Amino acid sequence: AEKSQDMPSHLQLDLSEDDGQPLLARFTYVDEGTCIGCKNCAFVARNTFFMEDDHGRARVWNQGGDSLELVDEAIDSCPVNCIHFVSYEDLWSHV
């Protein structure tokens, strides 16, 4: 299905047809309280991050939207180190 920036990423994960579990082993998460809205990550990996309008912070909309290399590059580009890899459980507990 098409993914949307209007819906949280954990609600539109790609799941296995066999057991309903997520296909990815880890997920990308922005600590929006720490994000300073510099837009670097959304520029580097635009199929993963977008700038959320209300608070001007970055948010992940599409888990697995970019290659791991690009996501790593986005993480390296963040001046305040607020992008983290998290487990499936942590992804849910953060929302």
**Which residues of this protein are in contact with ligand SF4, per CB under 6 A?**
30, 35-41, 58, 77-80, 82-83
Q: Where are the alpha helices (DSSP H) in 1-95?
A: 40-44, 68-77, 88-93
Tokens representing 51 are 């700038």
User: What DSSP element (H or E) covers 76?
Assistant: helix 68-77
Judged by beta carbon, residue 20 or residue 33, the one nearer ligand SF4 is 33
The least distance separating ligand SF4 from the CB of residue 73, rounded to whole angstroms, comes to 11
- Closest distance to ligand SF4 from the beta carbon of 60 (Å): 9
Residue 30 Cβ, how far from ligand SF4 at the closest point, in Å?
5
